[in-house]
Amino acid sequence: MKQSKSEEQKTCCGADLPQKEVSTVYNKKKFHFCETACLELFMKDPEKFMATTHFRLNFEDLEDA
């Protein structure tokens, strides 16, 4: 199921986007993060990060980069 534009603009944990954008592109999808610390954890091991309970969005539903 495709998310609405407002749902796509959520962080990986499902929070609203912070004022200062913290994001990266991975496997042609754009990932938004609530803070730099989450981005740093993601960058260490993206697949492991996506398998945690902190990652609450479906990869397929993320915005294309």
Which DSSP state fits 33?
Answer: -
Q: How far is CA 3 from the centre of its chain?
A: 14
pLDDT of residue 17: 85
Structure pTM? 0.79
All structural domains of the chain: 5-61 (2.30.170)
pLDDT of residue 47: 95
1-20, pLDDT tens digit by residue? 444 444 457 899 888 888 88
Q: What angle do CA 28, 52, 46 make, to 5 degrees?
A: 35
21-31, pLDDT tens digit by residue? 899 999 999 99
Which pair of structure tokens corresponds to residue 43?
């960058």
pLDDT of residue 25: 96
Q: Which residues pair with 46 in a beta bridge?
A: none
Q: What angle do CA 57, 31, 37 make, to 5 degrees?
A: 100
